[in-house]
Amino acid sequence: MPAVQETIDQVRSIDVDQYKYGFETVVEMEKAPKGLSEDVIRFISAKKGEPEWMLQWRLDAYKRWLTMQEPDWARVSYDKIDYNDIYYYAAPKKNQAPKSLDEVDPEILRTYEKLGIPLREQEILAGVEPERRVAVDAVFDSVSVATTFKAELAKAGVIFMPISEAIREYPDLVRQYLGTVVPVTDNFFATLNSAVFTDGSFVYIPPGVRCPMELSTYFRINEKNTGQFERTLIIADKGSYVSYLEGCTAPKRDENQLHAAVVELIALDDAEIKYSTVQNWYPGDAEGRGGIYNFVTKRGDCRGRNSVITWTQVETGSAITWKYPSCILRGDNSRGEFYSIAVSNGMQQVDSGTKMIHLGKNTTSRIISKGIAAGKSENTYRGLVSAHRKATGARNFTNCDSLLIGNECGAHTVPYIESKNATAVFEHEATTSKISEDQMFYCQQRGLSDEEATALIVNGFVKDVLQQLPMEFAVEAQKLISISLEGSVG
Amino acid sequence: MLEIKNLVVQIEDKRILNGLNLTVNNGEVAAIMGPNGSGKSTLSYVIAGKEDYEVLDGEILLDGENVLEMGPDERAVAGVFLAFQYPLEIPGVASMTFLKAALNAHRRARGEGELTTPDFIKRVNATATQLEIPKDMLKRALNVGFSGGEKKRMEILQMALLEPSFCILDETDSGLDIDALRIVSEGVNALRSPDRSFLVITHYQRLLNYIVPDSVHVMSAGRIVKSGGKELAIELEANGYADYRESEAA
pLDDT at A287 over 70: yes
Least confident piece of the model among A17-21, A262-266, B96-100: A17-21
Which DSSP category does B133 fall into?
A: -
CA-based nearest distance B11→chain A, Å: 15
B65 inside 8 A of chain A by CB: no
CB contact under 8 Å between A456 and B106, yes or no, is no
For β-strands B90-94 and B80-83, DSSP reports them as unpaired
Mean pLDDT of chain B: 91
Q: Which pLDDT belongs to residue B80?
A: 97
What is the arithmetic mean of pLDDT over A371-376?
87
B77 inside 8 A of chain A by CB: yes
pLDDT at A273 over 60: yes
Q: Which pLDDT belongs to residue B132?
A: 87
Question: Which residues on chain A are in Cβ contact (under 8 Å) with B52?
Answer: 437
Which of A438, A446, A461 has its CB closest to that of B91? A461
What is the arithmetic mean of pLDDT over A278-295?
82
- For the beta carbon of residue A465, count every other beta carbon within 10 angstroms: 21
A437 inside 8 A of chain B by CB: yes
pLDDT at B250 over 70: no
Number of folded domains that form chain B: 1
Q: Which pLDDT belongs to residue A68?
A: 92
A12 inside 8 A of chain B by CB: no
Give the distance from CA B167 to its chain's centroid: 5
pLDDT at A472 over 90: no
Q: Could you tell me if residue A401 is inside a domain?
A: yes
- Residue B8: pLDDT band with limits 50, 70, 90: very high
For residue A235, the cross-strand partners are A204, A266
CATH number at residue B27: 3.40.50.300
pLDDT at A413 over 60: yes
Which DSSP category does B86 fall into?
A: S
Least confident piece of the model among A27-31, A331-335, B231-235: A27-31
Q: Could you tell me if residue A231 is inside a domain?
A: yes
- Residue A99: pLDDT band with limits 50, 70, 90: low
pLDDT at A272 over 60: yes
- Residue A278: pLDDT band with limits 50, 70, 90: confident
Q: Which pLDDT belongs to residue A1?
A: 38
For β-strands A335-344 and A378-387, DSSP reports them as unpaired
For residue A410, the cross-strand partners are A378
Mean pLDDT of chain A: 84
What is the arithmetic mean of pLDDT over A143-152?
75
What is the arithmetic mean of pLDDT over A9-22?
50
Which of B51, B73, B97 has its CB closest to that of A1? B97
The DSSP-derived string for B182-210 is HHHHHHHHHH-BTTBEEEEEES-SHHHHH
pLDDT at B75 over 60: yes
Q: Which pLDDT belongs to residue A407?
A: 83
Q: Could you tell me if residue A490 is inside a domain?
A: no
What is the arithmetic mean of pLDDT over B146-152?
91
A97 vs A26: CA distance, rounded Å: 19
Which of A436, A438, A449 has its CB closest to that of B73? A449
- % of chain A residues with pLDDT over 70: 85
Side-chain half-sphere exposure of B62, counting CA atoms within 13 A: 24
Enclosing domain of residue A71: 2-484
CB contact under 8 Å between B73 and A447, yes or no, is yes
Question: Which residues on chain B are in Cβ contact (under 8 Å) with A462?
Answer: 92
Torsions phi, psi for A333 (to 5 deg) = 60, 15
A442 inside 8 A of chain B by CB: yes
- Contact criterion met (CB below 8 Å) for A330 and A321: no
Q: Could you tell me if residue A489 is inside a domain?
A: no
CA-based nearest distance A13→chain B, Å: 17
3-state percent helix, strand, coil for chain B, nearest multiple of 5 = 40, 30, 30
CB contact under 8 Å between B93 and A459, yes or no, is yes
CB contact under 8 Å between B105 and A448, yes or no, is yes
Least confident piece of the model among A213-217, B16-20, B27-31: A213-217
Q: Which pLDDT belongs to residue A319?
A: 87
CA-based nearest distance B10→chain A, Å: 18
CA-based nearest distance A274→chain B, Å: 24
Enclosing domain of residue B29: 2-249
Burial of A327 (0-12, 13-18, 19+ CB in 10 A): buried
CA-based nearest distance B88→chain A, Å: 6
How much is the ipTM here?
0.95
CB contact under 8 Å between B73 and A461, yes or no, is no
CA-based nearest distance B27→chain A, Å: 22
The DSSP-derived string for A29-86 is EEEPPSS--HHHHHHHHHHTT--HHHHHHHHHHHHHHHT------SS---PPP-TTSS
B226 vs B72: CA distance, rounded Å: 29
What's the full length of chain A, in residues?
A: 490
Least confident piece of the model among A202-211, A215-224, A405-414, B234-243: A215-224
Number of folded domains that form chain A: 1
Q: Which pLDDT belongs to residue A182?
A: 95
B141 vs B163: CA distance, rounded Å: 23
Burial of B14 (0-12, 13-18, 19+ CB in 10 A): exposed
- Whole-structure pTM value: 0.80
- Contact criterion met (CB below 8 Å) for A221 and A181: no
CA-based nearest distance A2→chain B, Å: 9
pLDDT at B85 over 50: yes
pLDDT at A431 over 70: yes
Q: Which pLDDT belongs to residue A120?
A: 63
B151 inside 8 A of chain A by CB: no
For A453, nearest residue in chain B (alpha carbons)? B101
Please, which contacts does A183-188 make with residues 24 or more away whose CB atoms are closer than 8 Å? A184/A57, A184/A60, A184/A61, A184/A64, A185/A64, A186/A297, A187/A68, A187/A71, A187/A297, A188/A65, A188/A68, A188/A69, A188/A70, A188/A71
- Residue A17: pLDDT band with limits 50, 70, 90: very low
Across A303-409, the runs of DSSP E, i.e. the strands, are 308-315, 320-323, 326-329, 335-344, 349-358, 364-373, 378-387, 395-404
Q: Could you tell me if residue A76 is inside a domain?
A: yes
Question: Which residues on chain B are in Cβ contact (under 8 Å) with A446?
Answer: 76, 98, 101-102, 105, 158, 162
A374 vs A381: CA distance, rounded Å: 15
B92 inside 8 A of chain A by CB: yes
